[in-house]
């Protein structure tokens, strides 16, 4: 409550009946503000919260199974429920439920890597942005980043795409820059590294071509789990 309102009410009360509307007019506030000070007990009652039944309730277990086990998107689950299970809710309701579930999975048991020298590096594609040259030609620029887990030394390269061949070239240049490879390299679940068709939430399958590249370069591939980017520092 505004301090000036509270002080003025205390002065005006003096044991007499206060005209709340008149006090409110003088102080430029709502009469309810005045009433809340005079009769606080009216506003401190515990109100029973109304319970709502969500249209998602009958489908929540099915949704979680599809998302966690089969890596389905919220959109694909929505289409499944609309076409086969007579789901009457909106897509935004389902998408919010899936998003909150993923955040919860992210929060639980997050493991961060603390490594010794030469043991681990981390690779990621950072921001993607557009540039226009003097002739008006537009280019999409990607940022490849490789960071050594112990020293935090970095290798950065700009590319025009994120294809697997480009990834191989970036890694090869990074190895040359650092003077070798680390024992293991941590990746996000990018499609150029992970065979997403064969993978699910509990089991990740490395793309065969990338697995052979890692074998030839002599490093182990480690992927952070879906919904848990905090496993990367």
pLDDT score of 14:
55
Secondary-structure class of domain 120-231 per CATH: alpha beta
Q: What is the pLDDT of residues 130-163, one digit of tens each?
A: 888 888 899 899 999 999 988 889 999 999 999 9
Ordered strands of the 138-148 beta sheet: 154-159, 138-148, 120-132, 184-187, 220-223
Whether the per-residue pLDDT at 60 is higher than 60: the answer is: yes
> Which has the minimum average pLDDT: 15-29, 49-63, 118-132, 160-174?
15-29
- Reference 32, options 41, 21, 46, 22; nearest CA is 21
Using the predicted structure, report yes or no on whether residue 47 has a pLDDT greater than 70.
no
pLDDT surpassing 50 at residue 228 = no
SS (H, E, C) 134-150: CCCCEEEEEEEEEEECC
Q: pLDDT, tens digit, for every residue of 84-102?
A: 888 989 999 999 999 998 8
Domain ranges of the chain: 3-43, 57-107, 120-231
Spell out the SS3 assignment of 152-175: CCEEEEEECCCCHHHHHHHHHHHH
Model confidence at 41: pLDDT above 50: yes
Q: Is 84 exposed, middle or buried (0-12, 13-18, 19+ CB in 10 A)?
A: exposed
Global pTM reads: 0.49
User: Which residues are CB-neighbours of 201 under 8 A, at least 6 positions away?
Assistant: 67, 68, 69, 71, 225, 226
Cα dist from 212 to 84, 138, 169, 206, 209, whole Å: 42, 35, 15, 10, 5
């Amino acid at each position: 409550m505004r301090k000036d309102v509270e002080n003025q009410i205390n002065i005006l009360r003096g044991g007499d009946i206060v005209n709340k509307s008149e006090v409110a007019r003088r102080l430029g506030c709502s009469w309810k503000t005045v009433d809340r000070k005079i009769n606080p007990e009216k506003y401190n009652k515990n109100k029973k919260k109304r319970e709502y039944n969500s249209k998602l309730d009958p489908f929540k277990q099915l949704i979680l199974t599809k998302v966690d086990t089969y890596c389905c998107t919220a959109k694909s689950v929505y289409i499944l429920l609309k076409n086969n299970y007579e789901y009457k809710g909106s897509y935004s309701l389902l998408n919010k439920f899936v998003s909150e579930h993923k955040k919860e999975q992210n929060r639980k048991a997050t493991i961060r890597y603390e490594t010794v020298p030469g043991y681990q590096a981390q690779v990621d594609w950072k921001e993607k942005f557009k540039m226009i040259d003097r002739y008006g030609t537009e280019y999409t620029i990607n940022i490849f980043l490789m960071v050594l887990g112990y020293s935090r030394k970095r290798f950065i390269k700009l590319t025009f795409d994120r294809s697997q061949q480009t990834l191989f070239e970036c890694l090869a240049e990074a190895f040359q820059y650092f003077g070798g490879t680390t024992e293991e390299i941590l990746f996000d679940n990018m499609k150029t590294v992970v065979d997403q068709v064969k993978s699910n939430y509990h089991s990740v399958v490395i793309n065969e071509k990338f697995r052979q590249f890692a074998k030839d370069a002599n490093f182990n591939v480690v992927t952070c789990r879906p919904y848990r980017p905090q496993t990367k520092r």
